[in-house]
Structure 1
Amino acid sequence: MTRPSELVVVTGASTGIGRATAQRLALDGLHVLAGVRRQEDAERLAAVNVEPLILDITNDDHVAALGERVAGDGRRLRALVNNAGIAINAPVETLELKEWRRQFDVSVFGQIAVTRALLPAILAGTGRVINIGSVAGRVAMPSFGPYAAAKFAMEAVSDALRREVAEFGVEVVVITPGAVRTNMTESGIATATRLSEGMTPEQHGRYDKLMAAFLRQVEAFARDGVEPERAAAVISRAIAARKPRTRYTVGPDAAMVVPLSRIVPDRLLDRVLRRQMKLN
């Protein structure tokens, strides 16, 4: 078997979109450095052209080791897929600052750290940065504030970086999935349930109806969402394209909501979202 001549890094590859993407890019003939947090995940993921690495993107030592691994390999870094993230969701009033900081540490600062560590190799090989966004990065639904805020932030980071490195031949692409069936849905439900239990009696009176609607919404995402392999196929296309688009959507809901968010007035969109969540 021919040794792949190019590398790709995928963070958050233990499950869901990250796992499906690592497997798809390996089939595309790339050597995938797949970031996972646990050894048991690494053992399950290891395969031809898939090399799992223990990687906590909030750990400076892990990120530095990843940069050294790529720099010492000698092969071109074709792309970085920033997929690692968490979902912490609750009404703004009820969520402690430490939880907001944790959301941003993983889903914003961790992604920036990995990008900075690998950017020299990306620039040297005119590679690509693929940031996995979300519909929540374009429309913030009630109680999705922390997750949406992090995704909105990465939209801005992606735009700035794209404009900074375009003259060097580096493309920065945002993939915007809608509902996808992943383990993040289950962990998001568990986290939201834990956080709601810590609300004060007054907050329960204000937000219990909203949290029940939120849980129904997330369960619908898990039931009706597209398979992660669909997102992986779009990511593969964005890496392979000679001139990729700056943004791709995944799933029918993303294809509808993203353009809608640009033209619908805020008040009308508020009513649409409340109706969708059955809050009226």
Structure 2
Amino acid sequence: MVQREKGAVLITGTSTGVGRAAAILLEKQGYQVFATVRQEKDAESLRQEYKSGSLTPILMDVTKAEEIKFAADIVSKSVSDRGLVGLVNNAGLLVDGPVEYVSIDDLRWQFEVNVFGQIAVTQAFLPLIRKAKGRIVNIGSVGSQISAPFISALCASKFALGAFTDALRMELEPWGIEVILVEPGSIASAAPDKVEESFQKNFANMSPEAKAMYGDTYKFFVEGLIKSNRTGMPPEQVAGAILEALEASKPKTRYFLSKGQISLVLNLILKKLIPDRNFDAMILKGLKLKNQN
């Protein structure tokens, strides 16, 4: 196993998008990268691209305790007393649909991956972070700051991840371990195809009554979400923020990222300054959600 000058980092969810971009960037910057994926085909893709041994794919599902333990054992044997200089919790998914019709099982799965999985991975690798006085970088979303209709499960899970990050940052401060939250907006990646697939599945399973109530606005929202993702910031921009979070002498506690940074900041300010109903009305107008009374 190649030992790189900047130390070892573990990144979850590296098959596509931000995770893969971060793995590529950090490897190029001199880190020894452990990149977790859920499927062997994604691991093989990384092996074919990186044959030097400085980037090692590991099969790990963040919802399976035995796989997390197996991955932790592999990394621990490799880095030994050097520990990990960074843990990047990037794995995640999106559950969409009207709250009234999102199944409780789907809602639980959203939190299982986006919240409990992140916590389980953090607990497993924290001893290695302690050895190197490393840093933990959690990938959240601006959806934790501004909720939107039809992605309530995602927004709620990212809000929970943000709260967990804040608490962990304070708990680990006495040991000098930084805990940082990166909150990107829309990202140009494979996500639009996944959103379209999820919508088609959900829409097909909706009752005629549900389609009558939510169908048009749900479809309009998803079309906008897909468009914003296709034209969103490149994953490499988020990877750059992850690199800064790992290397800055005094990293920010939060990195807000958006292709339209000014509009994002304005919305965040408005959310704090104007009454909730006024802000709701602004969002509803943009989504063409009409009063049904």
**Shared topology, TM-score over 0.5?**
yes
Asked if 1:24 corresponds to 2:25, the answer is yes
Q: What TM-score do the two structures reach when normalised by structure 1?
A: 0.95
Q: Alpha-carbon deviation of 1:171?
A: 0.7
Give the equivalent residue in structure 1 for 2:207.
200
Give the equivalent residue in structure 2 for 1:71.
76
* Pairs within 5 Å for 1:63-142: 63-72=68-77, 73-74=79-80, 75-142=82-149
Amino acid across the alignment from 1:70: V
Q: Distance in 1 between matches of 2:131 and 2:280?
A: 45
C-alpha offsets along residues 39-90 of structure 1, whole Å, 9 cap, x if unaligned? 1111212314211111111111110012212322223301111000010111
Q: Distance in 2 between matches of 1:278 and 1:181?
A: 24
Contact persistence 1:213–1:279 (CA under 8 A) = no
Contact persistence 1:91–1:142 (CA under 8 A) = yes
SS of equivalent residue, structure 1 residue 176: strand
Q: Alpha-carbon deviation of 1:237?
A: 0.8
Q: Distance in 2 between matches of 1:255 and 1:128?
A: 26
Asked if 1:217 corresponds to 2:228, the answer is no
Contact persistence 2:110–2:154 (CA under 8 A) = yes
How many percent of aligned residue pairs carry the same amino acid?
Answer: 35
**Residue 52 of structure 1 is aligned with which of 50, 57, 62?**
57
Contact persistence 1:176–1:247 (CA under 8 A) = yes
**Residue 228 of structure 1 is aligned with which of 235, 238, 242?**
235
**Residue 284 of structure 2 is aligned with which of 265, 274, 277?**
274
SS of equivalent residue, structure 2 residue 85: strand
Q: Distance in 2 between matches of 1:32 and 1:258?
A: 34
SS of equivalent residue, structure 1 residue 175: strand
Amino acid across the alignment from 2:57: P
Cα root mean square deviation, aligned: 1.5
Q: Distance in 2 between matches of 1:160 and 1:190?
A: 35
Q: Distance in 1 between matches of 2:227 and 2:14?
A: 24
Give the equivalent residue in structure 2 for 1:173.
180
The number of residue pairs the alignment matches comes to 279
SS of equivalent residue, structure 1 residue 52: strand
Q: Distance in 2 between matches of 1:223 and 1:133?
A: 19
Q: Distance in 2 between matches of 1:181 and 1:202?
A: 34
Amino acid across the alignment from 1:33: F
SS of equivalent residue, structure 1 residue 77: coil
C-alpha offsets along residues 213-257 of structure 1, whole Å, 9 cap, x if unaligned? 221221222232011011101111111101100000122254444
Q: Distance in 2 between matches of 1:196 and 1:76?
A: 47
Give the equivalent residue in structure 1 for 2:66.
61
Contact persistence 2:59–2:71 (CA under 8 A) = no
Q: Alpha-carbon deviation of 1:172?
A: 0.7
Amino acid across the alignment from 2:132: G
C-alpha offsets along residues 120-139 of structure 1, whole Å, 9 cap, x if unaligned? 11122211110001111111
Contact persistence 2:32–2:55 (CA under 8 A) = yes
Q: What TM-score do the two structures reach when normalised by structure 2?
A: 0.91
Q: Distance in 2 between matches of 1:153 and 1:134?
A: 11
Stretches of structure 2 that go unaligned for 5 or more consecutive residues are none
Q: Distance in 1 between matches of 2:57 and 2:268?
A: 34
**Residue 145 of structure 1 is aligned with which of 141, 152, 169?**
152
Stretches of structure 1 that go unaligned for 5 or more consecutive residues are none
Q: Distance in 1 between matches of 2:190 and 2:56?
A: 22
